[in-house]
Amino acid sequence: MGLTGVDLARLGPSAQRQVLEKLGKQAAAKESKYHNEPDSRGKLRFDSKKEARRYDELLVLLRSGKIRDLRLQRQYTLQESYITPEGERVRAIRYVADFSYERPTMPDQNGTVHWVPVVEDVKSRATRTAQYEIKKKLLLERFGISIKEV
């Protein structure tokens, strides 16, 4: 049940002001935590314009054969979930990469080209949190993969 103009008129000036303030706050779009603007490419939604632009760049590299196996939002389990001796379940620790793909190495002495995994994360100063830094170290220790920050 919403308020109509007639209902609002029955309220005193102070109450009217409070109602209008509350309605104004609800109507205002929620601002992003990191002040980024979401963007999309077709059905794909990105957290920021910077991330969407990086996707465009990676697509060009993929189509030209310079990278392969491009994946978005790939999940890495850094620590499995477990149950404590007291019976409490502790959730798994996961890292979700913005992008992951494979890039070729220079040919070895036999002329063989190897493909190495690359994990990319689009970062700004604000998104380089302590939690991110810990997950970055765990990814390197557990999988031997360094995160490339763009």
Any idea what the CATH number is for the domain that residue 112 is in? 3.90.1570
Domain match, 63 and 88 both = yes
What's the pLDDT tens digit per position in 9-60?
777 888 878 877 777 765 555 667 777 889 999 999 999 999 999 999 999 9
Give the model's pLDDT for residue 4: 59
* Cβ–Cβ under 8 Å, residues 74 and 96: yes
Do 26 and 43 lie in one domain? The reply is no
Same domain, 65 and 7: no
Give the whole-angstrom CA distance, residue 142 versus residue 137: 9
User: What pLDDT score was predicted for residue 89?
Assistant: 97
Q: How many angstroms separate the CA atoms of 147 and 101, rounded?
A: 12
User: What's the structural domain count of the chain?
Assistant: 2
Q: CB of 97 within 8 A of CB of 55?
A: no
Same domain, 22 and 53: no
The answer to whether residues 26 and 87 belong to one domain is no
Q: Which domain holds residue 134?
A: 39-149
Cβ(58)–Cβ(101) under 8 Å? yes
Whether residues 82 and 46 fall in one domain: yes
Tokens of 113: 């080209």
